[in-house]
Structure 1
Amino acid sequence: MGTEAQMIPIDDGKAAHLTGMSMPSMLLPATDGTNVNLSEGGPTVVYAYPRTSPSTGGAIEGWDSIPGTRGCTPQSCAFRDHFAELRALGIERVFGLSTQETEYQREAVERLHLPFSLLSDVSLSLTHALNLPVFEAGGMTLLKRLTLIVANGKVEHVFYPVFPPDQNAADVIAWLSSRKA
């Protein structure tokens, strides 16, 4: 395994087109049993992550050698821990997004006590509509880690690549706070 410095993802430019894009009008299944349309609603934070592994295992061979893959749980926990602060800064909705099935994601919501839902793009509809950056591992198409700030149905800001994952929520708060100032 390489050093931590080698594991830092590089900005490959695959998210540069997202700022200013309109969110497509489509429904994504959420872990709370609803369907969410990201083109509607107030200011929203959507953090995309590759996948969560259940507490019982399920790691993909070579996972630790793929830059930017580790840290899905710390990233979700950081958004959980900063949820009230995000709301105080005007964010109405926070969602995690992966290409995993909703049932699989539901285990993570319960285990991590997340105060928000995770969205499933198992059909890759949103991924393809926005041309989100992806990679292949373990026979699956997975999202590269990024965070979107969505307002008025458009992508207002993109954090990409996200590193370290557990700092992402604080980076979002700093950006939102600078806009309020």
Structure 2
Amino acid sequence: MDLTRLPDDLPAPPDDGAADHLEGTPLPPIALPATDGSTVPLDRLAPGRTILYAYPLTGRPGTDLPEDWDAIPGARGCTAEACAFRDHHADLLAAGASAVYGLSTQDTAYQREAVDRLHLPFPMLSDEAFALTRVLDLPTFDVAGRTLLRRLTMVVRDGVVEKVFYPVFPPDRHAAEVLAWLVRTPGS
């Protein structure tokens, strides 16, 4: 299975309002481990805008995804989305983002494999303990005995969530959507 390509018949996730409360919310004083070995204090991100995109689960070649993964609206596409953020990384920075981070509930070692395999120029953050997920009440879903994040992107400006993209679909085109928003909405 090619994890970078999405099937044509993926179901789109509905807008269930589960992220409506996030805009205007300050990020809490929680530090998450990153795949580059650092710990990122979310309430002390670099000045300006930070792109924090949340995703459910990156697949690995040769490892089965959860049963009926493609039938879950919004589940499939994490690898394709990561590759799109990789491919648009320089453009996102040029458009005013100070940093880009991926965020999931997978552990750092699992995420590091994806960063290395996909040659991602940005770190992934692990919320394996659900600290950020609980405090911000991020939307989740359960599959195969695991709780995973629903796909969303927060643009954080000077520590406060300025913009939320939710639901995200299709995930392989989402980085371009974020880039277009940054270009249309310059920071001051």
Identify whether the pair has TM-score above 0.5, normalized to the shorter chain. yes
Matched, 1:132 2:138: yes
Moved over 6 A (4+): none
Gaps of 5+ in 2: 1-7
Gaps of 5+ in 1: none
* Equivalent residue runs for 1:11-90 within 5 Å: 11-40=15-44, 41-42=46-47, 43-90=49-96
C-alpha distance in structure 1 between counterparts of 2:160 and 2:153, whole Å? 13
C-alpha distance in structure 2 between counterparts of 1:95 and 1:59, whole Å? 23
Do 2:96 and 2:186's aligned partners in 1 also have CA atoms closer than 8 Å?
A: no
Aligned equivalent of 2:156, options 143, 150, 158: 150
Q: TM-score, normalised by structure 1?
A: 0.95
C-alpha distance in structure 1 between counterparts of 2:54 and 2:140, whole Å? 10
Letter in 1 for 2:9: E
Counterpart of 2:178? 172
C-alpha distance in structure 2 between counterparts of 1:113 and 1:133, whole Å? 28
- Following superposition, the deviation at residue 56 of structure 1 comes to 2.3
Aligned-CA RMSD value? 1.5
Q: TM-score, normalised by structure 2?
A: 0.92
- Following superposition, the deviation at residue 58 of structure 1 comes to 3.1
What SS class does the counterpart of residue 4 from structure 1 fall into?
coil
C-alpha distance in structure 2 between counterparts of 1:162 and 1:113, whole Å? 23
Aligned equivalent of 1:4, options 9, 14, 20: 9
